[in-house]
Amino acid sequence: QMMGRGRMHPRTARPRWVAMYLSHVAFGWTLERVSHVFGVNRASVGAACRWVEDERDRRTLDDLLNELETCIQALYQPPVLDLAR
C-alpha cells in the first residue's frame, strides 16, 4: 500500500509521508526525485515533509526519526579502509 496511488487511509498515508521525508532528509534526494519514486507530485511530497516536520514536536516521533536517519546514513557511509597495511 505504501507505493499505491490515489487517496489512502491515514494509517497508510502517514508512514508513507515519513518514508518520503526520510528519502528527502536522510538520502538527500530532491523533492522532485522523491515525487518520482513515490509516484506523486512535488507538492504532495512538500506537504508530507511539512507534516513530518510539524510532528517532530512530539518527542517520541522525533527520537524515532533521529534513529532512522542515523541508521540510513550509516548504511550509506563507505567503510573505512586502512590501505597502509
* pLDDT tens digits, 28-76: 899 999 999 988 899 999 999 999 999 999 999 999 999 999 998 888 7
Q: Can you give the pTM of this predicted structure?
A: 0.79
> Which of 55, 73, 59, 71 has its CA nearest to residue 13?
55
| Residue 80 grid cell | 573505512
Q: Return the residue matching grid coordinates 528519502.
A: 23
Distance CA 35, CA 17 (A): 11
Tell me the Cα Rg of the chain. Answer: 15
> How does residue 13 score in pLDDT terms, banded at 50, 70 and 90?
confident
Residue 29 has a pLDDT of: 94
